[in-house]
A = this chain, B = another copy of it.
């Protein structure tokens, strides 16, 4: 009866909105095992490094995202002996994280600057995904969906300032539903500290929209319903 000695990976389900669609960051594996398949950006823990440290390192190095614009949260750990089918002899335990990233200015995506590619979640799940990463993506997306209900984390998917419509579209996109604008506005504005009116406006095709920034509230009580 031997005890396990394993390497630890920190894998990140990085989510971001692009063109009103939820995207996840994927990297194509350049080495065995699972060479050529798509996987979550991840890294092995170094000595003297926590899983959180490693995930933060991955976000800045591999995804090239500014750390302060990303909300990072532990998702779960995956330790099934068969999860890394290509290397049955060597166990890898993954501590998975969900990262909610601000919508990015166009040039930062898909350029050579980052090794990762942002892929719509639906399309990502239809690709050949390495290991158990398809399940981790599903778990991460489901976690994000749930968190929107009872936290204010939707703002983490938006830039510093945003309109009510922007915020509502985050919910509609992540949940795949449509929400009544009037009721949504009332709900958000009646939650103290959810958003703060900047006094600024954004002009576009129609009536100018008030610009808000995130307040310091974290919980939504009572929650929003999908």
Contact = CB atoms under 8 A, between A and B. Distances in A.
Interface of A: 1-8, 44-52, 74, 76-77, 79-81, 91, 93, 95, 150, 221-223, 225
Closest 8 CB pairs of A and B: A4-B45, A51-B79, A77-B77, A50-B79, A3-B44, A2-B47, A50-B80, A48-B81
Which of A4, A7, A76, A93 is the most central at the interface, judged by chain B CB atoms within 10 Å of its CB?
A4
Copies in the complex: 2
Contacts of A8: 4, 6, 79, 93
Nearest to A48: B81
A115 B47 CA distance: 34
A88 to B, nearest CB: 9
A91 B4 contact: no
Contacts of A76: 74, 76
19 contacts: A2-B46, A3-B44, A3-B46, A4-B7, A4-B44, A5-B5, A5-B6, A6-B7, A45-B79, A49-B81, A50-B79, A50-B80, A51-B77, A52-B79, A76-B76, A93-B93, A221-B225, A222-B223, A222-B225
B81 A95 contact: no
A47 B95 contact: no
Contacts of A5: 5-7
Nearest to A94: B77
B1 A46 contact: yes
Which of A47, A51, A79, A91 is the most central at the interface, judged by chain B CB atoms within 10 Å of its CB?
A79
A46 B45 CA distance: 21
B79 A3 contact: no
A138 to B, nearest CB: 16
Contacts of A47: 2-4, 81, 91
A122 to B, nearest CB: 25
A139 B35 CA distance: 38
A225 B220 CA distance: 12
A104 to B, nearest CB: 29
